[in-house]
Amino acid sequence: MSGGSATLAGAAALALAVVFGGCLSTSMSAAELRVPVLLGPVPCIGCGPAARLPAPVPSARIAGRRRFYDFLFPSYLWGLADDSQLGISADRLLYWTPCGDDLQLSNLRAHAWQLTVPFLIYVADASVEGDAQEMTVPGASCGSP
Amino acid sequence: MTTRALVLLCALAVAGCAGARVNVTADRARYPLSLSPVVRDAGGRPYDARTLVKVGWLDIRETTPGFVYSALSVPRTRDFSDEINAQVAAAGGEAVVDLTVSIGGGCGWLNGFPILNALPLWPGCVPVRLTGDIVRRRNTVP
């Protein structure tokens, strides 16, 4: 590959990396859990903001994270690209929460960043992280009414 | 060889990083917000898709800018309470279930802009989106 075409290929690869890194997204949900996973101060329908007793278990750190790597050097071509899901989802970590307890989320934070070393390395990262604490619900039942 | 070393040095010299981080809160929400499909009533009874009826769709987007390689975001914390309260009240709902907190890709071009993102004042951003189902109990009349 000649110097000119290599530079052109490198520039094209960088431009594509920016485009694909720009599509990077991630999310946090708990769609498979069968207990409330609460954000905010109101624990139930018809309740006001209320404090509940934390269950005697440590809080868990949960995350949804996606990261994209693109190494352009030394080939000036795609090199290696990796798109992987990191972190532990709420669905996986908290699946065995007793049905009489709730989970309270706190310290929820979202972070997105990208690192660019032109023609060498391109890294994009998006993450949503938080802490989940099991809460004891007085008089809770497990079945739907 | 010398040319290659120079190119490498130049590339490293203009290496940059941009982005933003934000704390997501709903501290003034007047309704229960659940990331799962389940929410309880005041008696502790759980309600799910069989006993809840969807009356609306929550969708809020807020983009937070950041500077100095994502170390400084303005504001540091985003409280989504007001918009949540407004959308749930407008739909006549009692709660939000299946809440999802997501980061879209809308800031990729800004965060990854080559060369310019080496400058500490070059802005980055994080686009946060909250979506969910606005619901009420099936056996209650609005």
3-state secondary structure (DSSP) of residue B100:
strand
DSSP for A14-39, please give it: HHHHHHHHHT--EEE--TT-SS-EE-
CB contact under 8 A, A108 and B24: yes
- How distant, in Å, are the alpha carbons of A57, A135, B50, B135, B138 from that of A99? 15, 11, 17, 21, 21
According to the model, what pLDDT value does residue A17 have?
A: 58
Average pLDDT over residues B103-112: 84
According to the model, what pLDDT value does residue B102 have?
A: 92
Buried b (16+ CB within 10 A) or exposed e, B32-63: bbbbbbbbbbeebbbbeeebbeebbebebebb
Query: In angstroms, what is the C-alpha Rg of chain B?
Result: 22
Which candidate from B7, B34, B42 shows the least CB-CB separation from A36?
A: B34
The pTM assigned to this predicted structure is: 0.83
According to the model, what pLDDT value does residue A1 have?
A: 47
According to the model, what pLDDT value does residue A10 have?
A: 58
Q: For residue A132, what is the nearest residue in chain B, using CA coordinates?
A: B35
Tell me what the pLDDT averaged over chain B comes to. 90
Average pLDDT over residues B81-92: 97
Helix or strand (DSSP H, E) at A71:
strand A60-71
pLDDT higher than 60, residue B20: yes
Selection from A68-72, A105-109, B4-8, B108-112 with the highest mean pLDDT: A105-109
Taking alpha carbons only, the member of A127, A97, A118 closest to residue A25 is A127
Average pLDDT over residues B112-123: 86
3-state secondary structure (DSSP) of residue B70:
coil
According to the model, what pLDDT value does residue B66 have?
A: 92
> How close is the nearest chain A Cα to the Cα of B127, in Å?
8
> How close is the nearest chain A Cα to the Cα of B90, in Å?
17
Task: Write the ipTM.
Answer: 0.87
According to the model, what pLDDT value does residue B14 have?
A: 77
Task: Write out pLDDT tens, residues B29-44.
Answer: 999 999 999 999 988 9
Taking alpha carbons only, the member of B89, B32, B80, B83 closest to residue B56 is B89
Q: Which residue has the higher pLDDT, B26 or A142?
A: B26
Q: What is the pLDDT along chain A (145 residues), one digit of tens a residue?
A: 455 665 665 566 566 555 555 567 788 888 888 899 999 999 999 888 876 666 667 778 888 877 777 776 555 544 454 444 445 577 767 777 888 889 999 999 999 988 888 777 878 888 898 998 888 888 877 776 6
Q: Are B117 and B17 within 8 A, CB to CB?
A: yes
Give the tokens for residue B42.
């005041």
Put simply, whether A97 touches B (Cβ < 8 Å) is no
CB contact under 8 A, A40 and B109: no
> How close is the nearest chain A Cα to the Cα of B55, in Å?
15
- How distant, in Å, are the alpha carbons of A116, A124, B136 from that of A20? 13, 9, 40
Q: Are A122 and A136 within 8 A, CB to CB?
A: no
Give the C-alpha separation, B108 to A97, whole Å.
36
At A54, the amino acid letter reads: P
Query: CA neighbours within 13 Å on the CB side: how many for A72?
Result: 24
DSSP 8-state assignment for residue A78: -
Q: A105: which chain B residues are within 8 Å (Cβ-Cβ)?
A: 35
According to the model, what pLDDT value does residue A96 have?
A: 75
Q: Are B116 and B122 within 8 A, CB to CB?
A: yes
Give the C-alpha separation, A11 to A59, whole Å.
46
